C-alpha cells in the first residue's frame, strides 16, 4: 500500500511540499481539494510512478520553479520502500496501481467526441492486464526485432548489390544465396562464351546482312579425252587395219556362208601376199591361190581403198573437233572465276571471323596448285593436237593429254572438297544465326554467370553467410510472432467475452442507462502496426452509435458528458471485475463524479465501497466533500484517512494536510451550536458580533426545521423576524407552551440584538429593546447564549 507522499518539489502547485503531521495513507484514503489545487497533479505523479514514465512528471514542471523537480513516496513494507524521483527518473517503479481520472478517459476511451484507434489500442492494454501487456510487449519487441533484422538484411543486400553488381536485385538475392559451388566450375570459360553470344546479339543487325560463302563450279572443258587419246594414237596402219577388219568381217561372212573353212586365214594370207608384192613394186600381181591378175580395179581393193579413205577423213574431222574444243575452252576464264569466288569468299570469311565461334573453321582454298603449269599443260595439249592435225596418220605421244586430263580431274576433286567445306561453313552460319539471342537475354546470361563467379569471392561469401543467418533469425522471429499472436488472441478472447458482459452489467443494471457494448473483440496489429487494439460497437436502445461525425446516431448527438463519463467508468470498473489480481491492486479515483447526476453519483459511491473490500487500497480524490464523506462514513478511523490538498493562494503553492471531513460537511446549524458551546468555555469578547450572528443563524435554522410544515403557510418572506411574528400569531404550540410569551420575547430580543450583524443596519430601537449589541457585556452575551440553547433544547 501507499504509505505517504513524503515530498513533491516543483511539480505543479506542489512547489516545495514536505510531509508534516499525520498524513499517512490508510487502506481507504479520501483526499479533498478544490479544483485546480493539485489533485490531478498528485494523480499524475502516481501514474508516472506506476508506469515508470518520468515524462509525465516532467510535463508538470511548476511555473517559475527554482528547485529541480523531485518527489518521494513510501510504500508500506518491511522496511518501507522509498520511491524517489530525480533527474534520472524513478529509483523504483510501484506496480499494481490502477487509476481512473480524466487522463485515463482521454487516453483509453474518448477525447471530446472522438473515439479513435489510439484510444482502442490503449484500452486494449488496460483490459488485458499485466499478463496480456507482457505478451503485447513481446509482440512489440518481436516486431521491433523484425524491423531491425529486415534493416540488417537490407544493409547486407545493399552491400551485395554494390560489390557483386551485374544486375543483382532483390528478386534474385534468394537464388544467388543458393548457388552451389559446382556451378562455379569453368565459369571463366562460360563467361567468355556468354560474352561472345552477347557480342553476337549486339551485332545481329549486321550479322543478318552478311552473306554466306559461294560454291565453286567444277571445270568443264568440253574435251573428250578418251576420244582424243585414241585419235592421237591413230596411224595409217591402224586405219588400214580398221578398214580391213571391216572388209574381212563382211568377206569372211560371205566365204563362210559358201562353205569355205577358215576364211580369215585365207584372206589374211592373200592380203599379206598382195601387200608384199606391192611393197616390191611389182607391176603385175597375181592371186596366190587362183593366179588371176590383181590390180587396183579389183572390187575388193576398191572397197578397201574406199573404207580406208573414209576412216582417214573421219580421223581428220575428229582431230579438228578436238582442236575446236580446245579453242573453245577458256582456261583463263575458268581460273579467273575460281579466283574471283575465292576472293569473294575470303572477304566474307573475314567478316564472319569476328562473329563465328572459333570452332567453326573456314574452307581451305587449294584448288590449282600452279596456274602456270596448268596453262603450260593446256598449251602443250593444243600444240600436240595441231601437230596431229598436220600429220594425222602419224602417232603422237598421249602423255600431254593424260597429264592435262589428270590436272583437270585433280582440280575438280579439290573443288568438290572445297564445296563440301563451304557447305559445312554455311551450315555453321545458319546454326549460329538461329542461335543468336536477343540482346536482353544475352546480357542477362552474362550477368548471371558473372554473379556466379562473384558468389564465391571471399568477401561475398562472408556477406552471404551473414545474410543467411539474418534470414534465419527473421524466420525464427516470424514463427515466434505467430505463436505470440495466438497466445494473445486466446487470452484476449477470454478477457473480452467477460469484459463485454461486465460493461453491460454496469451500463444497464447499475447505472440504468440504455447504452450497451456489443462485438467486443481483439484486433491483432496489421501491417507496420505493432499494437493490438480492442474493437467494439456502442449502441443506444439497440441502435448503433456512429463514432463518425455527421452520421445518424452519432456519438456527438447521442452522448452527453454524463453519458460519456458513465461509459468510461463502466469500462474501468469492468476491467477491475475481471482482474484476477485485483486483491493486490491499489485503486485511485480522481474526481470520478465528473458530469454524473445524483443517481449515478449514488451508484458510484456504492461501487467504491464494494471495491474497498476487494482491493489492497482505495484512494479517492474529489472536490466534492459530501461525496467523500458519504464514501467514508461507515468506515472506522483504523482503516480510513481523510486528507486535504490546501492551496496557499499568496504563495501559489499547495500542501497535503489532515482533514476533518466530518466537520467539513457539517451544516452551519450544528457548527454554530458547537461554536456557542465552545465560546462559553473559552470566551473571546472580541468576536461578540460573530457570536450574535451564530445565535441568529441557530435559532432561524431551528425554527425552519422544527416548524417546517407550519411555516409553509406563510405568504411573506421567511425572514427571522417574520418567522417569529408568524409563530406568535398562528397559535403554533411550543414544547414549553406555558411560557409562550417569554419564548417570543426572547426570540424578539435575539432578533433585535443580532440585526446589525446580519443585515448591517441598526434598525432596532436598542433603548426599547433593553440591550445594545455595541455595549453588550460578557455576562449579557453568555445569558443570550444560554437562552438560545434553552430555546432549541427545551422550550421550542
Which pLDDT score is estimated for 542?
Answer: 82
pLDDT at 546: 76
Residue 634 pLDDT = 87
Mean pLDDT of 356-385: 92
Q: What is the pLDDT of residue 698?
A: 94
Grid cell digits, residue 182:
559446382
Is the CB of residue 429 less than 8 Å from the CB of residue 212? yes
Do 56 and 44 touch, CB atoms closer than 8 A? yes
**Using an 8 Å Cβ cutoff, are 352 and 203 in contact?**
no
- Distances in Å between the alpha carbon of 488 and those of 318, 503, 531, 536, 635? 117, 21, 11, 17, 41
The region of weakest confidence among 54-58, 444-448, 491-495, 742-746 is 491-495
129 Rama class: left (phi>0) / alpha (psi -120 to 50) / beta:
left
Question: What is the pLDDT at residue 148?
Answer: 93
In this predicted structure, the answer to whether residue 759 has a pLDDT above a threshold of 60 is: no
Task: Determine whether 13 is exposed, middle or buried from the number of CB atoms within 10 Å of its CB (0-12, 13-18, 19+).
Answer: buried
Is the predicted pLDDT of residue 188 greater than 80, yes or no?
yes
Give the pLDDT mean for 17-46: 94
With a cut of 60, say whether residue 707 has pLDDT above it.
yes
Say what the pTM is.
0.57
**pLDDT tier for residue 299 given thresholds of 50, 70 and 90:** low
- Lowest average pLDDT, out of 501-510, 551-560, 611-620, goes to 551-560
Task: Of 15-24, 387-396, 420-429, give the lowest mean pLDDT range.
Answer: 387-396
> How far apart are the C-alpha atoms of 778 and 684, rounded to whole Å?
9
pLDDT for the residue 421: 95
User: Comparing 406 with 554, which gets the higher pLDDT?
Assistant: 406
Q: Are 596 and 607 in contact (CB under 8 A)?
A: no
Reported as a single tens digit per residue, the pLDDT across 165-177 is: 988 888 998 999 9
Q: Indicate whether 492 pLDDT > 80.
A: no
Per-residue pLDDT of 431-444, as tens digits, reads: 999 999 999 999 99
Split at pLDDT 50, 70, 90, the class of 324 is: very high
pLDDT at 61: 94
The pLDDT confidence band at residue 145, using thresholds 50, 70 and 90, is very high
- For the chain, what is the radius of gyration of the CA atoms? 69
pLDDT for 132 equals 64
Whether the per-residue pLDDT at 742 is higher than 60: the answer is yes
- Report pLDDT digits (tens) over 629-662: 999 988 998 999 999 999 998 888 999 999 999 8
Indicate if the pLDDT at residue 611 is higher than 50: yes
Place of cell 538461329: 434
Mean pLDDT (the chain) is 86
CB contact set of 263 (below 8 Å; sequence gap of 6+): 251, 252, 255, 256
Task: Judge whether 230 and 405 are in contact, CB under 8 Å.
Answer: no
pLDDT average, residue stretch 305-329: 84
Residues 6+ apart with CB under 8 A from 677: 789
Average pLDDT over residues 122-146: 71
- The model's confidence at residue 402, banded by pLDDT at 50, 70 and 90, is very high
Residues above pLDDT 90, as percent of the chain: 50
CA–CA distances in Å: residue 191 to residues 353, 449, 453, 728, 775: 20, 6, 9, 127, 126
591 within 8 A of 622, measured Cβ to Cβ: yes
The x, y and z cell numbers of residue 414, run together, are 579439290
Residue 504 binned pLDDT confidence (cut-offs 50, 70, 90): confident
Residue 695: is its pLDDT beyond 90?
yes
Q: What are the φ/ψ torsions at residue 640 (nearest 5 degrees)?
A: -125, 140
Q: Which residues pair with 658 in a beta bridge?
A: 643
Q: Is the distance from CB of 75 to CB of 1 less than 8 angstroms? A: yes
Q: Is the pLDDT of residue 76 over 50?
A: yes
pLDDT in tens, 85-119: 999 999 999 989 999 887 777 776 655 445 555 65
Q: How far apart are CA 337 and CA 417, in angstroms?
A: 17
Look at residue 258 and give its three-state secondary structure. Answer: coil
- The alpha carbon dihedral of 107, 112, 116, 120 has a sign of positive
- pLDDT at position 763 is 66
CA–CA gap between residue 244 and residue 553 (Å, rounded): 143
* pLDDT value of residue 666: 87
Say what the pLDDT of residue 113 is.
Answer: 46
pLDDT band at 341 (very low <50, low <70, confident <90, very high): very high
What band does 562 get if pLDDT is binned at 50, 70 and 90?
A: confident
Which residues in 731-744 are b (16+ Cβ under 10 Å) and which e?
A: ebebeeeeebeebb
Enter the C-alpha cell of residue 384.
Answer: 600436240
- The predicted pLDDT at position 501 comes to 87
Output the pLDDT for position 598: 75
Label residue 560 left, alpha or beta by phi (over 0 means left) and psi (-120 to 50 means alpha).
beta
Kindly give, in sequence order, each residue whose CB lies less than 8 Å from that of residue 453, ignoring residues fewer than 6 positions away. 184, 187, 188, 191
The model's confidence at residue 124, banded by pLDDT at 50, 70 and 90, is: low
Q: Is the pLDDT of residue 288 over 80?
A: no
Q: What element of type H or E holds 621?
A: strand 617-622
533-540: strand order across its sheet: 515-523, 533-540, 543-544
624: which residues sit within 8 A by CB, 6+ positions away?
Answer: 591, 593
Cα–Cα distance for residue pair 231/316, rounded to 1 Å: 9
309-323, 355-369, 409-423: lowest mean pLDDT where? 309-323
* pLDDT score of 656: 96
* Cα(535)–Cα(512) distance, integer angstroms: 24
Distance CA 449, CA 186 (A): 10
Tell me what pLDDT residue 123 has: 58
Residues 6+ apart with CB under 8 A from 73: 2, 3, 4, 5, 6, 45, 46, 49, 82, 83, 94
C-alpha cell at 163: 560489390
Amino acid at each position: 500500500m501507499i504509505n505517504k507522499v513524503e515530498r513533491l518539489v516543483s511539480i505543479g502547485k506542489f512547489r516545495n511540499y514536505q510531509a508534516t503531521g499525520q498524513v499517512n495513507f490508510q487502506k481507504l484514503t479520501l483526499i479533498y481539494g478544490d479544483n485546480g489545487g493539485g489533485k490531478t497533479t498528485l494523480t499524475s505523479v502516481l501514474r508516472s510512478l506506476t508506469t515508470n514514465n518520468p515524462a509525465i512528471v516532467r510535463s508538470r514542471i511548476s511555473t517559475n520553479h527554482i528547485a529541480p523537480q523531485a518527489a518521494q513516496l513510501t510504500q508500506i513494507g518491511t522496511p518501507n520502500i522509498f520511491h524517489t524521483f530525480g533527474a534520472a527518473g524513478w529509483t523504483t517503479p510501484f506496480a499494481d496501481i490502477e487509476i481512473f481520472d480524466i487522463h485515463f478517459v482521454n487516453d483509453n476511451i474518448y477525447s471530446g467526441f472522438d473515439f479513435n484507434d489510439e484510444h482502442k489500442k490503449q484500452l486494449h492494454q488496460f483490459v488485458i492486464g499485466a499478463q496480456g501487456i507482457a505478451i503485447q510487449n513481446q509482440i512489440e519487441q518481436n516486431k521491433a526485432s523484425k524491423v531491425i533484422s529486415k534493416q540488417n538484411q537490407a544493409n547486407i543486400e545493399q552491400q551485395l548489390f554494390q560489390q557483386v553488381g551485374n544486375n543483382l536485385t532483390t528478386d534474385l538475392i534468394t537464388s544467388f544465396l543458393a548457388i552451389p559451388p559446382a556451378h562455379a566450375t569453368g565459369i571463366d570459360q562460360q563467361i567468355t562464351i556468354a560474352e561472345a553470344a552477347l557480342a553476337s546479339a549486339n551485332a545481329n543487325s549486321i550479322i543478318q546482312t552478311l552473306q554466306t560463302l559461294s560454291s565453286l563450279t567444277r571445270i568443264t572443258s568440253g574435251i573428250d579425252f578418251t576420244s582424243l587419246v585414241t585419235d592421237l594414237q591413230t596411224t595409217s596402219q591402224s586405219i588400214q587395219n580398221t578398214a580391213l577388219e571391216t572388209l574381212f568381217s563382211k568377206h569372211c561372212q560371205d566365204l563362210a556362208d559358201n562353205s569355205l573353212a577358215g576364211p580369215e586365214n585365207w584372206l589374211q594370207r592373200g592380203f599379206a601376199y598382195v601387200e608384199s608384192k606391192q611393197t616390191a613394186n611389182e607391176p603385175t600381181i597375181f592371186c596366190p591361190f587362183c593366179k588371176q591378175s590383181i590390180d587396183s580395179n579389183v572390187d575388193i581393193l576398191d572397197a578397201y581403198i574406199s573404207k580406208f579413205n573414209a576412216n582417214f577423213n573421219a580421223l581428220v574431222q575428229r582431230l579438228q573437233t578436238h582442236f575446236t574444243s580446245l579453242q573453245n575452252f577458256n582456261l583463263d576464264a575458268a581460273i579467273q572465276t575460281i579466283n574471283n569466288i575465292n576472293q569473294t569468299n575470303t572477304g566474307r570469311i573475314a567478316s564472319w571471323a569476328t562473329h563465328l565461334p572459333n570452332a567453326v573453321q573456314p574452307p581451305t582454298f587449294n584448288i590449282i596448285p600452279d596456274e602456270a603449269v596448268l596453262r603450260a599443260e593446256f598449251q602443250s595439249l593444243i600444240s600436240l593436237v595441231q601437230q596431229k592435225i598436220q600429220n594425222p596418220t602419224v602417232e603422237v605421244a598421249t602423255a600431254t593429254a593424260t597429264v592435262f586430263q589428270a590436272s583437270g580431274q585433280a582440280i575438280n576433286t579439290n573443288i568438290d572438297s572445297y564445296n563440301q567445306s563451304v557447305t559445312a561453313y554455311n551450315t555453321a552460319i545458319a546454326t549460329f544465326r538461329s542461335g543468336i539471342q536477343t540482346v536482353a537475354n544475352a546480357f542477362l546470361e552474362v550477368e548471371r554467370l558473372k554473379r556466379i563467379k562473384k558468389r564465391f569471392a571471399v568477401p561475398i561469401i562472408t556477406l552471404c553467410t551473414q545474410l543467411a543467418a539474418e534470414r534465419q533469425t527473421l524466420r525464427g522471429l516470424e514463427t515466434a510472432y505467430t505463436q505470440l499472436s495466438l497466445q494473445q488472441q486466446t487470452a484476449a478472447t477470454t478477457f473480452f467475452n467477460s469484459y463485454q458482459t461486465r460493461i453491460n452489467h454496469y451500463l444497464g443494471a447499475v447505472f440504468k442507462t440504455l447504452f450497451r457494448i456489443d462485438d467486443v473483440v481483439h484486433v491483432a496489429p496489421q501491417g507496420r502496426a505493432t499494437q493490438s487494439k480492442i474493437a467494439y460497437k456502442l449502441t443506444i436502445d439497440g441502435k448503433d452509435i456512429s463514432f463518425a461525425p455527421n452520421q445518424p446516431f452519432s456519438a456527438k448527438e447521442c452522448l452527453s458528458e454524463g453519458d460519456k463519463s458513465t461509459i468510461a467508468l463502466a469500462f474501468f470498473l469492468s476491467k477491475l471485475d475481471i482482474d484476477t489480481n485485483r486483491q493486490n491492486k491499489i485503486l485511485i479515483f480522481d474526481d470520478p463524479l465528473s458530469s454524473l447526476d445524483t443517481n449515478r453519483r449514488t451508484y458510484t459511491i456504492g461501487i467504491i465501497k464494494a471495491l474497498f473490500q476487494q482491493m489492497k487500497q482505495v484512494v479517492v480524490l474529489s472536490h466534492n466533500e459530501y461525496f467523500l464523506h458519504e464514501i467514508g462514513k461507515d468506515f472506522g478511523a483504523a482503516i480510513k484517512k481523510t486528507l486535504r490538498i490546501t492551496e496557499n493562494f499568496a504563495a501559489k503553492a499547495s500542501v497535503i494536510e489532515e482533514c476533518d471531513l466530518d466537520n467539513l460537511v457539517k451544516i452551519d446549524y450544528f457548527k454554530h451550536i458547537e461554536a456557542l458551546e465552545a465560546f462559553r468555555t473559552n470566551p473571546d469578547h472580541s468576536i461578540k458580533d460573530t457570536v450574535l450572528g451564530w445565535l441568529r443563524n441557530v435559532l432561524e435554522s431551528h425554527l425552519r426545521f422544527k416548524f417546517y410544515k407550519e411555516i409553509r403557510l406563510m405568504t411573506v418572506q421567511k425572514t427571522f423576524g417574520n418567522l417569529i411574528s408568524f409563530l406568535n400569531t398562528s397559535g403554533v404550540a411550543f414544547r414549553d407552551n406555558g411560557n409562550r410569551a417569554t419564548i417570543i420575547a426572547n426570540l424578539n430580543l435575539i432578533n433585535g440584538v443580532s440585526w446589525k450583524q446580519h443585515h448591517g443596519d441598526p434598525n432596532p430601537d436598542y433603548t426599547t429593546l433593553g440591550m445594545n449589541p455595541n455595549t453588550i457585556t460578557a455576562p449579557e452575551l453568555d445569558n443570550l447564549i444560554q437562552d438560545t440553547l434553552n430555546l432549541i433544547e427545551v422550550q421550542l
